Structure 1
Amino acid sequence: MAGGTDKLAAGGAGQPNADGQARAAGPWAIWGSVGIVVAVALAAYLNSFRGQFIFDDHRSIVESPRIRRLGPPWKYFTVNRPVVELSLALNYRLGGLDVRGYHAVNLAVHLAAALALFGIVRRTLGSRRLGGRFAGAEPYLAGAAAAIWAVHPLNTQAVTYIVQRAESLAGMFYLLSLYCTIRGTEGGRSRRRWFAAAVAACALGMGTKEIVVTAPLAVLLYDATFLAGSLRRALRKRRGLYTALAATWLIIVYRLVVLPAPKGAGFGLKDLGPWRYALTQLGVITHYLRLAGGFRDVLGGAAVVGTLLGLTAWALFRRRAWGFLGAWFFLVLAPSSSIMPIADVAFEHRMYLSLAAVVVAVVAGAYLLGRVVLRRVVATASVRRWLGVFAGGSAVLAVTTALGIATVRRNRDYRSEIAMWRDTAAKQPGNFRAQMNWGLALKRSGRIDEAIERYREALKIKPDYAQAHCNLGAALILNGELEAAVREFSLAVKCDPQLTDAHNNLGAVRAGQGRIDEAIEHYRRALRTNPSAIQARCNLGEALIRKGQYAQALEQFKVALRLRPDVPAVHCGLGSVLVHQGQWDAAARWFRRALRLNPRHAKAHAGLGTVALRTGNALQAREHFVRALRLDGSLPDAYYHLAVALGVRGQYRPAVKALRRALRLRPGDLHIRRALVWLLATCPLPTVRDGREAVRVAQRARLDELNKDAKLLDALAAGYAEQGRFDEAVRKAELAAAVAARRGRMALAREIRERAKRYRAGRPYRDFRPAPARIAYLLPELASPVASSRPASAEGARGPAR
């Protein structure tokens, strides 16, 4: 008997309507409505396939080593959102980094959620609890609600922004859990299967996102409202179901207790306590409801939210069916809009599932209101029915079309990170993350000054925002403001000592200044905070190469290769170590492997140029270096080695130009400074020699470094001699010879003393030596072709977001 009652409550399509006629909808109405829902959703989101990977997509997909291999099942027990991670890994397995595959999965998830919503609404409107008020109209109203929800522009962030798949996937499992429970209450032999599916969907949702923590409560409340008639009866009749649903909370407990907490959430957030966050959410919820900003003050938000909560509580107490919609709205928002602080206080994708309650309420309310109006103004039932169909259909068509057009326009924003974050910042002026992300997008487009302005705006809103300090420092580096960049990186470390990017960036600056020991220490700190940071590990390997510690550098690149065999920079690093060990053929193979991964990888071309230079093919070396610099004009070693290749062929003027460019990019590199000073002081061509500039460039080196570098002192002495300042030339040459002798380089010391004899005789030195001798002098400790340490600039793998 209980099973039959549940079946009537869930189905009920043959009940009389308000006109006294039973108008059960046939299968064609159901499948026609389903087809319309699918069609309008596809039309609205078809242009989303033109979107690219944006912001957090880079960290979670493009640069994530975890999704590169499906791996054993237990690997997903170590990540905070295992179902999302598995879906991304499957995407990568099937299509690599083809962005269309990721968009296709996101859209499929959204369609599945819309169809689950359709099924829930259709069965609910036809339930006995609603007394036949929607008899015959259930599939049409369910189709209207599902279609409007599917194309609503508020959902674009959860569908088009790939990494926000977590929200739509969690929403799909939430809806499926409820839908399967409803189907299970209809009885029959498949009853247990439906209940098992409900529990499975709930468990998968718990492994997707935290919002599903309220799903068991929502299912129980629905049962009490529409099926069993009370909470007590629902628990008594389906005790096993609710025990199993409650058991899925253990997944959330495991994620909270065992796994590392996600950044940007929790009670430990600085300057964002539970009660302050809760007060903020009063305005945020109102903002969600109005979709275009909320009340300006908290009291206004409190009034609206308080009223809605009061009405919902009253309706549930009086067992009014519409009270469930209010409860659904607040239950879904509770994990993100209650007392658990989240760094981003508002994000439109959090409205994804709660929006369904608003849409269903509007559609059902409009239907009931329209029926009352028509009964008062139209006497004939048949005319009233067709007029209602026409008016309702026209309204749904108009609303769906308008919302669909808005969604198509919003999807275009996701083709451009700048447009997306500018729009977000305009709608949420106090959103510091939006300001920073806008800055990142501007930086990627080469608009550095505008990016700096956005970072500073983010820091005005949140002065202790470590990632904004870090990204501002990275942008200042590109503007040549190194000391200002160091200050920002230091502030970032002070705000968050565990910020990997800040340590990596400090290391990159120090490496560029020639302070290699400090750079190595910062890289090691970065790796202590995140051993999987490939950029920091490659930078450490490059710094070790510059220190001559080739075995240690090789070990770093081998670790990087195990972590990310698909990163060209890792292969370049291995090739660079082999270059220094004189294994030219093996080095060239690694550089070619890097080019197979990315034919436009500038450092790989530079590496092949270095191999060609060291094997005596200056012409081929020149071609590789020119190609590398066309792809990336910020490689100081490529300019350096290009200058050597040009000098070997007697092209001294372009060689000096290349060395000047290299020194601007890396002012702390003594190899580059030494080569430029030597060429300016000793070039065989008088039109190239410039003793005054040679001395000026040499004296810009740090005094402690200058007095310890025999060859730079030798070049400075030659510069003095070129100006006719022979006494100073002799003193510097004698100092250079003494430094060389102390270091056990007796051959070099003798060579410098021979030049000092020329200076005593009042004669400058001209380097007329053959090409091999000039290469041996300029490149005794070959600089790394890939040692161009780069600062990280984005949150996560570069460094923000959510």
Structure 2
Amino acid sequence: MLKVKPYAPILLVVVGFAIYSNILDAPFVLDDNVYITDNPWVGSLGNLFDMRDARYVGFVTFALNNYIGGGLFGLHITNVAIHVANSVLLYLLISALLRALVAKGFFGPDEKPLVNLDRLALCIALVFVAHPTQIYAVTYITQRFTSLATLFYLGAIIFYLKSAPDISGNGSNRFRSSLCYVFSLILTVIAMKTKEISFTLPVVLMGVEFGLLRRESCAKVSVVRIIPFILTMLIIPLGVIGVGILGGTENAVGELMMQQKLKDIAAVSSYEYLLGQSMVIITYIRMLLIPGSECSACDFSIGKSFFEPAIFSASVTLLIVIAATVYLFIRSVARRNGYLLLISSGILWFFLTLSVESSVIPIQDIIVRHRTYLPGVGFITSAVTAFFLLVSIINRRKRVNISPFYITLIFVLMISVITHMHNRLWTDAIGLNTYFAELEPCSSSHHISLAGVYASEGRWKAAHTEYRKAVGIEPDRVLAWSNLAKVSMRLGLFDEAIEEYEIVLKLEPGNFNAHYSIGLLYLKKGLPDESDVELAQALRLSPGNEMVLKLRALLLKVRTGEFDPSGLKIRMSD
């Protein structure tokens, strides 16, 4: 009988922490400042009981990190611990599934299956913990949302399996089975409040209930068991569209995220987004198949026609893969072939869990690397199982003794080195942003991030250069123009800063910061009348603003000759 090996979780913990040991003091990068360092919601535990945010659980963990202390080390060690825990849960899940399939006769009547199932479960988890694509959900602090949602996702499935007496071994212990069922439901709700990718979890549980646990003698029991989980699928839509029972959220970042989602949905048709995602999914598959391979967002765009050569070939390829997988799944069930069932189920998992972000719901970023994390669970399961099966068949037919286990261990060692080496890049914020800026020259975001790093170090000229590159790439991006103007002020380029703030106002009329800053600059230049016009606009936008009132009082002194504006110290608003 297949049993969980005590050494397996220990090995996964050691391997996982060894791979990520060099990122525990890595700096904040990319969007970390938006979600963590500059987000007042996570600055204290004051909002701990405000559960209205769509990603409440993830934000709470950041707040707890901040409360406990530990700085970057605490944030990184938490992310690594979550990832390692996911690998252990994956090992436990695969082991539980294999036990269930063995019990139902899916691996034949032989006492010794063709494949060593103990080693198969361990190797799947090892490849998962070591794969380089996981960096984007582990080393990148902000993407804890993804790895944390996966933690609850896997946990919910495991407890659901344990709630079935014939699978868990609980026998007639109805209390223990009921407790596991409740835990599964709680984890499902928590997953839904962590990230939107959890939306598919009830569908997976339906597959477990009506497929693996099939109660042909009492189908009503299965229906009753799954209904509460189906109802949890309401949580995410209500949260995204902002009509949750408790109303809006005090988390400004979370609110902006929801608003952006609605803008994305309105900006692009679902059909065009789906067409573009066909090529993206092919790229995700390549990244999972070839560890260490990269992708560039510049190579992808929203599709316009199904018959565009690239879209047509990608779409047809995916349709063939999906059709073949469904056929393989049906055939494996009919023939009670556990190996083919595991392979086909893993591929279906990949497409199902990817469907939230790569199907008909438009998202601003067409391709993002961390989106392979949860789908990768299924893909890696399929790939490793297929490899074990292929080698075992060769061994039997050719009468050789090739070990798929040791070959996989060598592969894990190789990708562990790749992951560890790639992690080094994340310890240097300038190097990382430069790498991404070169990889994706069409994106202004990396230049903005790089400029932000330079600015934090007081390297204003370098920051100015990067912001200039950003507005050159994306001329209608308000953030880039606004930050460029701030840096120009720092460098004493007042005329240039005024021009840049005027562009901000053309793009975003009613921008308080632009009016205030132009008023400040005009006053500095000794132009009180022009300054007064801008400050009046700023005061209209923010009545009673203390900064504006103080500056207007100073303006009066300039007009009466009581104050020399050349001595005015430049102070920028946030």
TM-score category of the 2 structures, normalised to the smaller one = 0.7 to 0.9
Paired amino acid for 2:126:
A
Paired amino acid for 2:214:
A
Counterpart of 2:225?
241
Cα shift at 1:434: 3.2
Counterpart of 2:327?
314
* Higher mean displacement: 479-488 or 398-407: 479-488
- Asked if 1 retains the 8 angstrom alpha-carbon contact of 2:437 and 2:443, the reply is yes
Q: Quick one: distance in 2 between partners of 1:508 and 1:287?
A: 49
Distance 1:130 1:495, change over 3 A: farther
Q: Quick one: distance in 2 between partners of 1:500 and 1:121?
A: 55
In the alignment, is residue 264 of structure 1 matched against residue 288 of structure 2?
no
Cα shift at 1:408: 1.6
Paired amino acid for 2:262:
G
Cα shift at 1:359: 1.1
Counterpart of 1:172?
151
Q: How does 1:28-427 map to 2 (within 5 A)?
A: 30-71=5-46, 73-77=48-52, 79-95=53-69, 98-126=71-99, 127-128=101-102, 131-132=106-107, 137-185=116-164, 186=168, 187-188=170-171, 189=173, 190-228=176-214, 236-256=220-240, 257-258=242-243, 259=248, 260=255, 262=257, 263-266=259-262, 268=264, 272-291=268-287, 292=293, 293=295, 297-318=310-331, 319=333, 321=341, 322-378=343-399, 387-388=401-402, 391-427=403-439
User: Tell me, which stretches of 5 or more residues in structure 1 are unaligned?
Assistant: 1-12, 14-23, 379-383, 529-536, 550-668, 672-704, 713-777, 793-802
Distance 1:225 1:401, change over 3 A: same
Q: Quick one: distance in 1 between partners of 2:573 and 2:551?
A: 18
Cα shift at 1:710: 3.7
Cα shift at 1:449: 5.3
Cα shift at 1:285: 1.2
Paired amino acid for 1:348:
R
Distance 1:526 1:48, change over 3 A: farther
Fraction of identical pairs, as percent: 23
Cα shift at 1:510: 5.1
Q: How does 1:716-727 map to 2 (within 5 A)?
A: none
Paired amino acid for 1:98:
G
Distance 1:434 1:301, change over 3 A: farther
- Asked if 2 retains the 8 angstrom alpha-carbon contact of 1:473 and 1:486, the reply is yes
**Normalised by the size of structure 2, how large is the TM-score?**
0.80
Counterpart of 1:663?
none
Distance 1:325 1:253, change over 3 A: same
Q: Quick one: distance in 1 between partners of 2:538 and 2:486?
A: 16
Paired amino acid for 1:173:
F
**Normalised by the size of structure 1, how large is the TM-score?**
0.59
- Asked if 1 retains the 8 angstrom alpha-carbon contact of 2:520 and 2:551, the reply is no
Paired amino acid for 1:276:
E
Counterpart of 2:572?
790
Q: Quick one: distance in 1 between partners of 2:434 and 2:39?
A: 26
Q: Superposition RMSD on alpha carbons, in Å?
A: 3.4
Cα shift at 1:69: 2.6
SS in 2 for 1:150: helix
Cα shift at 1:371: 0.5
- Asked if 1 retains the 8 angstrom alpha-carbon contact of 2:515 and 2:535, the reply is no
Count residues with an aligned counterpart. 521
Distance 1:436 1:63, change over 3 A: closer
- Asked if 2 retains the 8 angstrom alpha-carbon contact of 1:328 and 1:354, the reply is yes
- Asked if 2 retains the 8 angstrom alpha-carbon contact of 1:170 and 1:212, the reply is yes
Cα shift at 1:367: 0.6
Q: How does 1:657-668 map to 2 (within 5 A)?
A: none
Q: Quick one: distance in 2 between partners of 1:68 and 1:234?
A: 51
Q: How does 1:698-709 map to 2 (within 5 A)?
A: 708-709=559-560
User: Tell me, which stretches of 5 or more residues in structure 2 are unaligned?
Assistant: 249-254, 288-292, 301-309, 334-339
Paired amino acid for 1:407:
T
Cα shift at 1:504: 6.3
- Asked if 2 retains the 8 angstrom alpha-carbon contact of 1:442 and 1:451, the reply is yes
Identify which of structures 1 and 2 has the higher relative contact order when contacts are C-alpha pairs closer than 8 Å and 6+ apart: 2
- Asked if 2 retains the 8 angstrom alpha-carbon contact of 1:225 and 1:324, the reply is no
Distance 1:209 1:435, change over 3 A: same
Q: Quick one: distance in 2 between partners of 1:130 and 1:477?
A: 74
Q: 1:577-605 CA distances to partner (integer Å, 9 max, x unpaired)?
A: xxxxxxxxxxxxxxxxxxxxxxxxxxxxx
Q: Quick one: distance in 1 between partners of 2:465 and 2:311?
A: 30
Q: Quick one: distance in 1 between partners of 2:276 and 2:389?
A: 35
Cα shift at 1:105: 1.4
